[in-house]
Structure 1
């Protein structure tokens, strides 16, 4: 497979999942403000922008509308929902000959319909529409593409981004004065799965453990890291008898085992630190994947695209 095609497929997976994850994080903020009208909107909004998303230029009086403007409607920002949809569409256009017709159509249509929703404020309609369309893209990709190298690269990007975004969402629940774990579970679509797994017994600890360490819930940090490892194993089976020749796989494997084999109490005791470790590992693994497979061009990391 041409490296430029593999590059585009990888970033289609990442950008679609980024749109989904960003919408979920904004929805955490929206739901927390609805749940507790007396909550300090400026504090919670600034913690999301500065503490979770890593923006340095966050004003003290930032409001939910400012979060929506930056993380939902800014088409020039590829970490915003609008920017992610645009970048996914442009990468799909570059890899058009590899994608199924159905997959191209759903990505292209999603971008065009998103622009028709309006950009006044990030309502429940906007955010739920994004998560539904992201799920539709994933389902069509899984059902209409041959599960060959093209699908593996797309799925690899999706799994890496999911690990990063779920780690960020989990970190919001660990913030002092942040949203309740019920809100965090709801934003991840994990509430019913959690209720079935724990038979109705939900506490802050079990909710955090479920989103971080559960092996069977696909949106958990651990499950996403494991899936990314599996995709790398298929793409480049390691025949070495000692160590790993795939640096990205080694990075992700080390991070996964640190979570999976640690005492759960130790992981949950310092969630922000552990989730920060996951985010750094995803960034390093993405760099290594770019160096190994996409050498013909620069890696598309959080940079804007101009039409």
Structure 2
């Protein structure tokens, strides 16, 4: 596979997953801000904005509407939800020969419908826009699984999706890491991740910080847990690694993923909440390092050696 197509599929996976997860986080945050009169709106808006990697403008008021304008609708910022969908579409346009026509039509239609979705949201509320993005990204993920050959291209797509999912789940937990052990705000993490029903069934309805953190970080069966996502990224990337040697050496990205997965696999679950911030920061640093390593090892190939007459010139002397 051409490196440019592999890179496009990797970033399509990341961009669509990020748009989906940002919509989930904002949907829960906006609902809480509108429904709970006891919340400090300005502080909460600034906190959510920074958790998602944005810097609030100094002269803008901290309101629900400024939050959605900056992170959801801003067409000038490639990090916004609209910008992410546009970036995914452009990558799909450049990789038409390796994706299915249904995948392209799904992304293209989503992009072309953003204006209508935004207008409905301005009339009926932000939930309309976030629901639209969640539904369309879920459709795209389903079409990818059903219509794309499960070859190298599919593996790159899943690696991108899984790495991004780890980063976004970590951000969801970061947004509540300072809450009390019995705070009901932990349920918002589960709702944002679409995990509330699975969690309640598996934990018999018991809600506390330790169990929520353990479930979202360590659960082996829930597809949006950090451990499951790390294992998915590691498995798919290993299928793309063509250079293992007799002593088991592998790419740096695989080493980082394996180290992160092992650190969670054998961690003392009772210690997670007591030192949650450091665990989450380490996972974020790992995601950043893995992405940089994948780009260097798989996409940015070394140029061909060009022969020169330098050696002949030296011999002539």
Provide TM-score, normalisation by structure 2: 0.88
Question: Which consecutive aligned stretches of 4+ in structure 1 deviate over 4 angstroms post-superposition?
Answer: 119-122, 176-179
Question: Of residues 158, 163, 173 in structure 2, which corresponds to 1:160?
Answer: 163
Deviation at residue 143 of structure 1 after TM alignment? 0.3
- C-alpha offsets along residues 131-151 of structure 1, whole Å, 9 cap, x if unaligned? 111111101000001100111
Give the secondary-structure state (helix, strand or coil) at the position aligned to 2:97: coil
**Structure 2 match to 1:53:** 52
Deviation at residue 172 of structure 1 after TM alignment? 1.0
User: Using CA pairs below 8 Å that are at least 6 residues apart, which structure has the higher relative contact order?
Assistant: 1
2:42–2:62 contact (8 Å) kept in structure 1:
yes
Deviation at residue 161 of structure 1 after TM alignment? 0.5
1:18–1:79 contact (8 Å) kept in structure 2:
no
**Structure 2 match to 1:236:** 241
**Structure 1 match to 2:75:** 75
* Contiguous gaps of at least 5 residues in structure 2: 303-317
Question: Of residues 207, 210, 218 in structure 2, which corresponds to 1:202?
Answer: 207
Whole-angstrom CA distance in 1 between matches of 2:192 and 2:144: 23
Greater C-alpha radius of gyration: 2
Whole-angstrom CA distance in 1 between matches of 2:145 and 2:205: 32
- C-alpha offsets along residues 67-90 of structure 1, whole Å, 9 cap, x if unaligned? 211211122323211010000000
Deviation at residue 296 of structure 1 after TM alignment? 5.3
Question: Of residues 121, 124, 132 in structure 1, which corresponds to 2:127?
Answer: 124
**Structure 1 match to 2:40:** 40
**Structure 1 match to 2:189:** 184
Whole-angstrom CA distance in 1 between matches of 2:206 and 2:111: 40
Report the CA distance shift for 1:210/1:35 in structure 2 as closer, same or farther (over 3 A): farther
Whole-angstrom CA distance in 2 between matches of 1:179 and 1:87: 36
Deviation at residue 35 of structure 1 after TM alignment? 4.5
Report the CA distance shift for 1:228/1:55 in structure 2 as closer, same or farther (over 3 A): same
1:1-307 correspondence runs (5 A) = 1-50=1-50, 52-59=51-58, 61-118=61-118, 121=122, 123-176=126-179, 180-236=185-241, 239-295=244-300
Provide TM-score, normalisation by structure 1: 0.90
Deviation at residue 156 of structure 1 after TM alignment? 0.8
How many residues are treated as equivalent by the alignment? 296
Deviation at residue 115 of structure 1 after TM alignment? 2.0
Whole-angstrom CA distance in 2 between matches of 1:226 and 1:40: 38
Report the CA distance shift for 1:128/1:244 in structure 2 as closer, same or farther (over 3 A): farther
